[in-house]
Amino acid sequence: MAELVVSAFLGVLFEKLASAALKNIARYKGIETEIKKWQRSLTQIQDVLTDASHKEITNQSVKRWLNDLQHLAYDIDDILDDLATEAMEREFNYDSSKPITTNVRKLIPSCCTNFSRNSKLDIISAKLQDLIDEKVTLGLRVEEETSRLKNTINRRLQTSIVHASSIVGRHAEKEALVHKLLEDEPCDHNFSIVPIVGMGGVGKTTLAKLLYDEKQVKDHFQLKAWVCVSDVFDSFGISKVIFQSVAGVTKEFADLNLLQVDLVNCLRGKRFIFVLDDIWTESYGDWETLVGPFHVCAPGSRIIVTTRKEQLLKKLGCDYPSKLQSLSHDDALSLLALHALGVNTFDSHSSLKPHGEGIVEKCDGLPLALISVGRSLRTKQDEDSWREVLDSEIWRSKHDIIVPALKLSYHDLSAPLKQLFAYCSLFPKDFLFERDELVLLWMAEGFLRLSSPSHSTEERLGHEYFDELLSRSFFQNAPNHESLFVMHDLINDLATSVASGFFLRLDNETEKNITKKILEKYRHMSFVREKYIPYKKFEAFKRAKSLRTFLATSVGVVDRWQHFYLSNKILGELLCELPLLRVLCLSDFCISEVPESISALRHLRYLNLSRTEISNLPENVCNLYNLETLILFGCRSLAKLPNNFLKLKNLRHFDIRDTPLFDEMPLGIGELKRLQTFSKIIIGGKSGFEITKLKDLKNLCGNVSIVGLDKVQNASHAHEANFSEKRLSELEVVWSDVWDGSRNAMLEKDVLNALKPRSEHLRHLKIVLYGGLEFPNWVGNPLFLHLKHVSLRSCKRCTSLPPVGQLPLLMELFIEGLYGVEVVDLDIFGTSRAFPSLEILCFKDMRRWKKWSTNTGFVFPCLKQLIIKDCPILAEVKLEALPSLNVLEVDDCPNLVEVLLEALPSLNVLKITKCDWVVLRRLVEIASTVTKLEIKRISHLNDVVWRGVMEYIGEVEELCITECNEIRYVWESEAFASKVLVKLKKLDVCDCYHLVSLEEKEEDNCRSNLLTSLSMLTVSWCKNMKRLSCPNSIETLKVRSCCSITTISLPTGVQKLKSLEVWDCNNLLETKWGGQTLNSNTSSMPLLEYASIHCWPNLKSIIGLNYLVHLTTLLIQDCENLESFPDFKLSNLTLLKELEITNCPSMDASFPRGFWPPKLQSLRVGKLNKPISEWGSQNFPTSLVQLYLYGG
């Protein structure tokens, strides 16, 4: 379907050919006659494109003709763009005494420099004539442009979020699966698999989403996670997504083992439901690696697996997984009606029903196809349109795997939408993208052509196009990511099929099959980032001399700590070879400098260097006159911009968020009148930037942070900036952190008042270091209907809070460092029904805050998380019911003694730090549902008081006690603990100086039957602890920096132990380990997977490693007296992937050749008794990735 790009592209060419600037430069160059000939020829060709678009479906000659036309159109556009750039240079350098060169190399692209100007123009003219002659031979006729192509955006937009009401024909399947998810089905493990199998587009993911969001399912399971797996089964990536979902935190892990150890801690004893969507692997080993941590969960956990392939399911014991079938005829007809007519029957459109039944037959009951066709018919309620769809030749194209119905929906798109959709073929499957970012890419390629006065900017037109593709299901909302989108695999395949010849996603497979000659024709290319990218990949890009797009992509969300390396030398060489680039994306690469060769990219519109390591940009970047988008977000080393930044007069989007070292505006930036995104504005500084300069930035929108407002000397200057007319969605205003006599409270209030933004657009508001005594009236005004996030930070002089309680959609409120506030009362609430949508509320560093009382009726109905921190004189908190509160944190409130709260029926997590024991006692009394309790530095918490608290924490599953120095024993006896802490699964005791032991009275004779739920135990930095007794149920044991401990008792073996850490326990006696030596006890740890021993002086030998058949990680460090280690038995550890033995100077091991574990991936060895040079030759396994050798 080559017509997709040509029709839209010709429109761009006609605009350029008609521009006054181009005519002037053409006249100056003496090529005006040739340019006019091109215009006439292209007009003749445009007249037959509608006919060609129909005939290309069945006529390969027409398809080739369109393909040749597109390539020629690209060449013409390159020349026209080069001419326009030269005209721009002439305009920008008008006062320069240096004349503009008429050299051929300045006229035409560098890919064409082997030709003279006239010969190149003549060749293009000749090719145009050949195409005109050939169109006659092909029988292409002039047709009237149909309304289908004229009306590019006329459909009622819909969301792609799954709603139960939009699902047709899956009630029985849903009910059966819900029953399977909730039933108490016996199984070998604590979790079982619920498969959803079926062909692509049959609705597997939709059904899984329906189950995932079902209220019964939500209420039944404690933990949830959704992972898009795709064709590459990445155990590390999948585990990381699950960990982030269930732990609610983002954390860096060096390897899979460390990640899975933490995941075990999160899943232990919890009933979970995970969705693993779109699994392709058939490897049982991959599956076993992934689900290793899942076995510690509570019985009844479920994993929903959606897949097209049954082989893995059969290996997992699902011998007869039920397949999701296509819809029945009636259900398919109902689904088509729902998306085409807005109702689920044809009762009011009986004349269309026969055509609908025919379409249903052709779609084979495939929901994705039915939805796609239905949405393409959304505004067509005449029989001719439906008959045209039913009789389309596309249904007969059976030569590839793309569902004809999807091609039909694509064919129904207008020419601009076809072009925009084809561009998305550059995205790998499961690529997550933002709407704004994609629109900027489209704009950079010249795809957004303003043809109507209603579209004031290309960006708004792009947003409408995006929403149109979203409404037609070409895009979908990404699960678990509110602001991100994704394409279905079949839609991605469709984009790839229609974009072939011009767009290439370079991967390992395409690298093998593609030839140099073919590469030279591609105009747009992308690749997936790798940690280390081979040089040969960039060799492929060098061969694509006509390339316009160099786009680095990733699958999934890129974490800040992920590093992708790219040599500065390679990059410099590459850019020299790609002079026609419009888009250059190098985000997330470890690039320290931008090569000077970037100045050769005269056509460049989009430059993304976000999250790189650059400290500055070269001055010649300012010669990129066409540059529209410059993204430097997250360049934390960036300190300055080029001096001639003003020359970038076409710049529209400039993102410098999260650049802490960047502290001054480039000179003249206020004159860049086309700027729409200007994310960080610094008032004053060395450049002396004035806020009044913002008045000329009339198009400013999106996210803006204004820093240095203390430099504004007159509120009228702030008013002159005209913020009330700017379409801002996020606004941050920041004053100075210097609090001296120069601050004028009244002036700062007037300045803030003058910066009032438009109420209908604002979503986020942050006010930082404001020095007024009170906030202006607009802060908290309920007319800000869409405001969701408010942050008031370090406004030290404010004595009251704004009435933000009446903001209808406010979900997050952060109040920090307001030293003047003494009472929180009616001022913040406004009326009795306050904070109707608030979910997170945080008070922090409120030094004079004494009292918080509501007494206003129904408030905080949706509040889920409440944090009160660093409030030294807060004495009284009186709140009414908080029915939805899930997390409560009270930290460093030493004077808080009166806590009057009604019941907290939903509270699960309670964290109390640096408070009096009275607060702890009062809160546990009214929060009987708490499952996670963390306490730290609770004053006057002795053994007697603590045992009184224990009576109220029977539901607690996770208990963390830190720096509670008056506690000597955690419980009186294990028998007492087993009666009170009946659900305790995880215990962490840290830095309790006077702790002697967990229990005051040892009862060895009954321990094996007590505390059976406790599976994870961590004791660290307890300097006076003498002994540690562990129940038999223990699975993870960590003992760290307990310098007085002599005994760890595991009396009858540790049959369930999977993870063991012993660090810095100088007095732990080897002979006291469970009454036996460690080396003779290893056979009692048959399930051990992870072992880390550090600085244990009394450890002398380890034998019997061959019993540890599940061991994957073994780390031994700084054990100065360890002499014996069975190095010759390492080969028996068939699952071991990581091994470290360092700084053990008494160890005689020499690691004989051939005795390494067969799956070893990381090895660190050294500083042993025998130097490495005496080990002899080694035969390391082929699996080894990292090797570190120390000490010769």
Residue 453 clears pLDDT 70, i.e. is over it: no
Residue 320 pLDDT exceeds 70: no
143 — pLDDT class (breaks 50, 70, 90) = low
Nearest to 936 by CA among 900, 890, 901, 971: 890
User: How far apart, in whole angstroms, are the C-alpha atoms of residue 873 and residue 412?
Assistant: 67
Q: Which two tokens stand for residue 521?
A: 């024709």
When mean pLDDT is compared across 901-905, 939-943, 1082-1086, the lowest value belongs to: 1082-1086
Buried b (16+ CB within 10 A) or exposed e, 385-419: bbeebbebebbeeeeeebbbbbbbbbbbbbbbbbb
Work out the pLDDT band at 750, boundaries 50, 70, 90. Answer: very high
Nearest to 1189 by CA among 361, 1181, 392, 1175: 1175
* pLDDT on residue 712: 93
- 644-669 b/e (C-beta count within 10 Å ≥ 16 → b): ebbbbeebbbbbbbbbeebebbbbbb
pLDDT-derived band of residue 97, with 50, 70 and 90 as boundaries? very low
**Angle subtended by helix axes 917-926 and 943-950, to nearest 10:** 10
Instruction: Specify the pLDDT at position 1076.
Output: 38
Mean pLDDT, range 783-800, rounded to an integer: 94
Instruction: Say how far apart CA 555 and CA 237 lie, in whole Å.
Output: 10
* Strands 898-901, 272-279: pairing kind: unpaired
Concatenate the DSSP letters of all residues of 37-84 into one string: HHHHHHHHHHTTHHHHHHHTTT-HHHHHHHHHHHHHHHHHHHHHHHHH
Cite the DSSP H helix spans in 856-958.
Answer: 917-926, 943-950
- Decide if pLDDT at 852 tops 50: yes
HSE of 155, CA atoms in CB hemisphere, 13 A: 30
| Mean pLDDT, rounded, for 77-101 | 71
Phi/psi for 705 (5° steps) reads -120, 125
> How far from 1067 is each of 307, 466, 1120, CA to CA, in Å?
54, 67, 14
Q: 881 with 902: CB under 8 angstroms?
A: yes
619 within 8 A of 643, measured Cβ to Cβ: yes
Distances (CA, A) of 858 to 783, 833, 835, 883, 902: 21, 5, 9, 11, 13
Which residues on neighbouring strands pair with residue 706, listed in sequence order? Answer: 681, 733
Question: Is residue 909's pLDDT more than 50?
Answer: yes
Q: Which CATH class is domain 182-315?
A: alpha beta
Contacts (Cβ under 8 Å, ≥6 apart) of 517 = none
Helix (H, G, I), strand (E, B) or coil at 21: helix
- pLDDT category at 962 given cuts 50, 70, 90 is very high
Helix (H) or strand (E) holding 910: strand 909-913
> Which has more pLDDT, 566 or 1074?
566
The whole-model pTM stands at: 0.77
Please say if the pLDDT value at position 358 is more than 90.
no
Q: Which two structure tokens, joined as six digits, stand for 331?
A: 């259900």
pLDDT band at 515 (very low <50, low <70, confident <90, very high): low
Q: Which range has the worst mean pLDDT, 147-151, 167-171, 338-342, 432-436? A: 147-151
Q: What pLDDT shows up at residue 454?
A: 57
Domain boundaries, the chain: 3-150, 182-315
Give the DSSP letter string of 1114-1135.
EEEE--TT--B--GGGGGG-TT
The CA distance from 118 to 1165, in Å, is 69
Confidence of residue 708 (pLDDT cuts 50, 70, 90): very high
pLDDT at 5: 59
Does residue 1025 or residue 342 have the better pLDDT? 1025
Residue 1161 in 3-state DSSP? Answer: coil
Q: How much is the average pLDDT of 203-230? A: 88
Integer CA distances (angstroms), 912 to 406, 691, 851, 878, 887, in order: 56, 45, 18, 17, 11
Give the burial string for 443-477 (b: 16+ CB within 10 Å, else e): bbbbbbbeeeeebebbbbbbbbbbbbbbbbbbbbb
d(CA 829, CA 738): 31
pLDDT of residue 82 exceeding 80, the answer is yes
Query: At 144, phi and psi to the nearest 5?
Result: -70, 140
* Confidence band of 103 (pLDDT split at 50, 70, 90): very low
Is residue 499 classed exposed, middle or buried when 0-12, 13-18 and 19+ CB atoms within 10 A define those classes? buried
Angstrom distance (rounded) from CA 532 to CA 541: 16
In this predicted structure, which of 297-306, 528-537, 974-983, 1160-1169 has the lowest mean pLDDT? 528-537
Which is more confidently placed, 955 or 15? 955
Q: How many CB atoms lie within 10 A of CB 33?
A: 10
Residue 283 φ then ψ, to 5°: -85, 120
Tokens of 667: 């000179």
1132: Cβ contacts below 8 Å, ≥ 6 apart: 1105, 1106, 1109
- Report d(CA 1192, CA 1186) in Å as an integer: 18
Query: What stretches of 930-1013 adopt beta strand conformation (E)?
Result: 932-936, 958-962, 969-973, 986-990, 997-1001
Alpha carbon 281 to its chain's center: 24
- Residue type present at position 762: L
| Identity at 363, one-letter amino acid code | C
Q: How far apart are CA 897 and CA 917, in angstroms?
A: 9
CA distance 177 to 197: 12
Percentage of the residues of the chain whose pLDDT score is greater than 90: 34
**DSSP classification of residue 113:** T
Nearest to 479 by CA among 304, 335, 634, 331: 304
Contact 844, 815 (CB under 8 A): yes
Lowest average pLDDT, out of 289-293, 578-582, 891-895, 959-963, goes to 289-293
Burial of 633 (0-12, 13-18, 19+ CB in 10 A): middle
Q: What is the per-residue pLDDT across 236-287, written as a single tens digit (0 to 9) for each?
A: 889 988 998 888 877 888 778 888 888 988 898 889 999 998 887 777 778 8
Instruction: Output helix, strand, coil percentages for the chain, rounded to the nearest 5.
Output: 35, 20, 45
End-to-end CA separation in angstroms for the chain: 65
Q: Which two tokens stand for residue 695?
A: 């008045």
Would you say residue 109 has pLDDT above 60? Answer: no
Per-residue pLDDT band for 117 (boundaries 50, 70, 90) equals low
Mean pLDDT rounded to a whole number for the chain: 83
Q: 520-550 burial by CB neighbour count: b if 16+ within 10 A, else e?
A: eebbbbbbbbeeebeeeebbbbebbbbbbbb
How does residue 1040 score in pLDDT terms, banded at 50, 70 and 90?
A: very high
Give 147's pLDDT tier (boundaries 50, 70, 90).
very low
The count of other CB atoms within 10 Å of the CB of residue 607 is: 24
- Residue 185 burial (CB count, 10 A): 13
pLDDT grade, residue 1143 (50/70/90)?
A: very high
